[in-house]
Amino acid sequence: MNEQNTQSNTASSASNTVPSDKNHLILTGDRPTGPLHLGHFVGSLRNRVKYQHQYQQFIMLADAQALTDNMDDPAKVHNNVLEVALDYLAVGIDPAQSTIFIQSQIPELTELTFYYLNLVTVARLERNPTIKQEILLRNFERDIPAGFLTYPVSQAADITAFKASLVPVGEDQIPMIEQTNEIVRRFNRLAKRDILVEAQALVPEIGRLPGIDGKAKMSKSLGNTINLGATAAEIKAAVKMIYTDPLHLRVEDPGHLEGNVAFIYLDAFDTDQEGLQVMKDHYVRGGLGDGMVKKRLEGILQDMLAPIRERRQEFEKDRGQVLQMLKQGTEKAREIAARTTDEVKAAIGLKHF
Ligand code: TRP
């Protein structure tokens, strides 16, 4: 298995084995704010295609969470629900194997959030490292939307509603899992029995792909992505622009691999790692131009993305059918979330009839 796993925040609860059977439920999801790109592919999508055969997998379009910092543009979030669903189908996530659903259509998730909010303090939310960093990044300071500050609690609701034991996420989301598990423990103590289930984060080995400009993260807002639906011409143009080694001025100069995005992408996508090693050695020795490296990379990306693009175009022809699939997935997911919500409400005295 090529993923490390981390669990909660105590050494004693950490484990080095990833369980693999259909009793384990995976919950994962994305904020639908734009088209998915190679960073998503490496960080999550390609694992989901694999996981769907090993576990019960639920994949959530987190539109309600996306609004916590996009309330000024709800149409963007609305439209991207279907776009991201198309990306899922295009990469091979199979609705017969994975349940794909829309967060906002399950009111129980909002309901659970409201109760869980009483199990965390504002101080704890402000200490969440991911939230802290995002506040800085977005210049929110004290003007942070309350919904944004509390989205880790909403995420705890998502995860616990399904009693998910495994949550595949990028490294930056680990604090969310830790906070979820704190809520789980606090709730179970209150309920005097283990109603909610602690979750384990599954972090991919190559968790983060740099942008084509060499910045640490590929991200739509940085404008340094290669989208999964990119045309052949877009892929070609992006590869041309990829950041390599600024010290590698002449072909005969020795090149550097560290921070060299062309090689980082080759590490992630080249299936001929032996051939790649030969190319790396040559590059480091000197005498190999960036053009040759980029040519190899472009070929690999074109071959990898062409079938994804074609499948996407096929599914795009019948958006009604995609919506129908989402509706069915959401109905199935809601049944599970409603069952957990009933248990939670009963445990905290919110059941009267
Ligand atoms: N916060 C996640 C992200 O930004 C999306 C998300 C929402 C999620 N709820 C979740 C991921 C529950 C895993 C489990 O990518």
User: Residues 317-337: what's their mean pLDDT?
Assistant: 98
Q: Report the alpha-carbon distance of residue 231 to residue 260 in Å, rounded.
A: 24
- pLDDT at position 124, please? 96
Is domain 232-314 annotated with CATH 1.10.240.10?
Answer: yes
Q: Out of 96-100, 217-221, 268-272, 349-353, pick the least confident.
A: 217-221
For residues 19-46, give the mean pLDDT.
90
The strand ranges marked E within the chain are 3-7, 25-30, 56-61, 98-102, 166-168, 200-204
Query: What are 244-261's pLDDT values in tens digits?
Result: 999 999 999 999 999 999
Using the predicted structure, report yes or no on whether residue 288 has a pLDDT greater than 50: yes
pLDDT of the residue at 139: 84
pLDDT, mean of residues 294-323: 97
pLDDT at 14: 37
**Which residue's C-alpha comes closest to atom 9 of ligand 1?**
155
pLDDT, position 3: 46
Domain borders along the chain are 25-209+318-347, 232-314
Predicted local confidence at residue 210, as pLDDT = 95
- What pLDDT does residue 275 have? 97
Condensed to tens digits (0 to 9), the pLDDT of residues 34-86 reads: 999 999 999 889 999 999 999 999 999 999 999 999 999 999 999 999 999 99
β-bridge mates for residue 166, sequence order: 26, 200
Per-residue tokens: 250: 């002449």
Q: How confident is the model at residue 204 (pLDDT cuts 50, 70, 90)?
A: confident
Place of tokens 């740099």: 210
User: Residue 15: pLDDT band by 50, 70, 90 thresholds?
Assistant: very low
- Residue 154, sorted as left (phi over 0), alpha (psi -120 to 50) or beta, turns out to be alpha
Q: Which atom of ligand 1 is nearest to the CA of 170?
A: 15
- Probe target for ligand 1 pocket from 25, 58, 65, with the most ligand atoms within 8 Å of CB: 65
Which residues make Cβ contacts (< 8 Å) with residue 32, sequence separation at least 6?
61, 62, 63, 66, 77, 80, 81, 83, 84
Among 1-10, 194-203, 311-320, which is the least confidently predicted range? 1-10
CATH of the structural domain 25-209+318-347, one choice from 3.30.230.10, 3.40.50.1100, 2.40.160.40, 3.40.50.620: 3.40.50.620
Predicted confidence at residue 140, as pLDDT, reads: 81
Residue 201 CB–ligand 1 contact under 6 Å: no
Query: Which class for 219: exposed (0-12), middle (13-18), buried (19 or more C-beta within 10 A)?
Result: middle
Per the rule left: phi > 0, alpha: psi between -120 and 50, beta: everything else, 287 is left
User: Tokens at residue 136, please?
Assistant: 């800085």
Whether 213 and 224 have beta carbons less than 8 Å apart is answered as: yes
In degrees and rounded to multiples of 5, residue 57 shows phi and psi of: -115, 130
Strand partners, 102: 61
Tell me the backbone φ, ψ of residue 181, rounded to 5 degrees: -65, -30
Closest residue by CA, ligand 1 atom 6: 29
**Residue range 132-185, pLDDT digits in tens:** 998 888 888 788 899 999 999 999 999 999 999 999 988 888 999 999 999 999
> Does the beta carbon of 159 sit less than 6 angstroms from any atom of ligand 1?
yes
Ligand 1 atom having least distance to the Cα of 154 = 9
Tell me: pLDDT of 4 over 70: no
Q: What is the pLDDT of residue 17?
A: 56
Mutate to test the pocket of ligand 1, among 25, 30, 58 (most ligand atoms within 8 A of CB): 30
Question: Is 163 touching ligand 1 by the criterion CB < 6 Å?
Answer: no
CA–centroid distance, residue 29 to ligand 1 (Å): 5
Predicted local distance difference test score (pLDDT) of residue 341: 98
Ligand 1 pocket member 28 (CB < 6 A): yes
Q: Where is pLDDT greater, at 143 or 9?
A: 143
Phi-psi map region of 259: left, alpha, beta (phi>0 left; psi -120 to 50 alpha): left
Lowest mean pLDDT among 19-23, 294-298, 315-319: 19-23
